[in-house]
Amino acid sequence: MFDFIPITEYTAIYYHLLLIVTLYMFMQSRVYFIEQVESVKATQNLGYILLVFTLLYMGTRPISWAFGDMGTYAEGFQKIQLDPNLPVKTDVFFGYFTRFCAGLMDVNTYFFLVDVIYIIPCYFFAKKYFSEYWFIPFLMMVGSFSFWSYGTNGIRNGMATSLFIFSLLFYQKQKWLMYAIMGLAYGFHNSLMIPIAAFLVSGLYKNPKIYLYIWLAAIPLSLVGGGFWESFFGSLGIGDERVNQYLTQNKEYQDQMSNTGFRWDFVVYSAFAVFAGYYYIIKRGFKDEFYTHLWGTYMIANTFWILVIRANFSNRFAYLSWFLMAIIIAYPLFKVKFWDDHYKNVGRIFLAYYLFTYFMFLKS
């Protein structure tokens, strides 16, 4: 659909356009209160335009190795079309999903459907939990660092995390369905066992201060421990063989990783959501069972990543918490007014949030 755009500029255009939208919304926040009728209508209309654009732009992108593993997924899809009986070895739900699609559609339609599953849960979540103010949280989600990458490159992981977000729609009621969808997410990518386990633990033990202390302690433990934690968790047999290879510094995977080591820039980025939860829950006394549960989930999953930060493809472990970051930062802002000039501060927050994404894009 957008074949006229040079493949070398395709990703850049996404980030540039989101910058324009974010700057526009920031300027709006300086002029209008977000609850004003004019502002609500304008943002909702812009929200639907952004939703359709993101679905079409990401979902109908050219099939190219320029998007990383997209080429691998395309080859796998075509192999299944030639031999529908190819065995499904890992991530079984994703495997059978791909087999089902291979019998009904071409590879372009397949990638569009993949991104529908990736993007639409974010929209549903924003609509349910933010009501008429859904656009800014949705903008933050699709403008998150790595959101584009996990819709075009780490496709299985991206779909699985979006299914996790979708499951949260049933948090208040039908919890059996919520856990069933989490199980489906695990079947799409086995690494989801980390946020799912974190969610279960956070639901049983609800002390935000303890999670904060554990997260802070993980930083020096990781610095001092070096590669100990990767070897330790790898020896436990966590997840599937691919995950264990990432943890145990397998040379085949290490050669593919361009930047391993202790990533202070990523730790600082992770700290945005850590500080947000600390400020809302501990400092300002924000009481919301769902939010406290979700922040605990983020803290546990992110702590695990900090401990294994030197692992190959460390960013893939980081994304198992990062996919919740926009929600963690935005949720209380639309439930309680924390400051006299609350919505101007909201504008500053979502601008700063996207500027980090944009800076990291320019840096890459």
What does the alpha-carbon distance between residue 71 and residue 64 come to, in Å, rounded to a whole number?
Answer: 6
CB burial of residue 240 (10 Å; 0-12, 13-18, 19+): middle
DSSP per residue over 281-307, as a string? IIIS----HHHHHHHHHHHHHHHHHHH
pLDDT > 70: percent of the chain: 88
73: domain range?
1-188
What does the alpha-carbon distance between residue 41 and residue 28 come to, in Å, rounded to a whole number?
Answer: 12
Whole-prediction pTM: 0.92
Q: What is the pLDDT along the chain (364 residues), one digit of tens a residue?
A: 788 999 999 999 999 999 999 999 898 887 765 555 456 777 888 999 999 999 999 999 999 999 999 999 999 999 999 998 888 888 899 999 999 999 999 999 999 999 999 999 999 999 999 988 899 999 999 999 999 999 999 999 999 999 999 999 999 989 999 999 999 999 999 999 999 999 999 999 989 999 999 999 999 998 887 676 676 666 565 555 555 555 555 544 444 334 457 788 899 999 999 999 999 999 999 999 999 999 999 999 999 999 988 877 788 889 999 999 999 999 999 999 998 888 889 999 999 999 999 999 998 8
What does the alpha-carbon distance between residue 294 and residue 163 come to, in Å, rounded to a whole number?
Answer: 15
Intra-chain end-to-end CA distance of the chain, in Å: 26
Chain position carrying tokens 């202070």: 264
Is residue 196 located within the same domain as residue 101? Answer: no
Is residue 119 located within the same domain as residue 184? Answer: yes
The pLDDT of residue 342? 86
Is residue 36 located within the same domain as residue 177? Answer: yes
Is residue 252 located within the same domain as residue 136? Answer: no
Is residue 230 located within the same domain as residue 254? Answer: yes
CB burial of residue 90 (10 Å; 0-12, 13-18, 19+): middle
329 CB neighbour count, 10 Å cutoff: 22
Longest pairwise C-alpha distance within the chain: 63
How many folded domains does the chain comprise? 2
Is residue 184 located within the same domain as residue 230? Answer: no
Tokens of 4: 């006229």
Is residue 226 located within the same domain as residue 309? Answer: yes
Task: Decide if 8 contacts 66 (C-beta within 8 A).
Answer: yes
Contacts of 179 (CB under 8 A, 6+ apart): 167
Is residue 173 located within the same domain as residue 264? Answer: no
3-state DSSP assignment of residue 176: helix
Tokens of 188: 């799409």
- Among residues 171, 188, 205, which one ends one of the domains? 188
DSSP per residue over 48-67, as a string? HHHHHHHHHHHHT----GGG
User: How far is CA 154 from its chain centroid?
Assistant: 11
The three-point CA angle 290-293-294 to 5° equals 85
- Nearest alpha-carbon partner for 299 in 218, 211, 222: 211
What does the alpha-carbon distance between residue 155 and residue 152 come to, in Å, rounded to a whole number?
Answer: 6
- Among residues 188, 211, 242, which one ends one of the domains? 188
Is residue 59 located within the same domain as residue 70? Answer: yes
User: How far is CA 322 from its chain centroid?
Assistant: 5
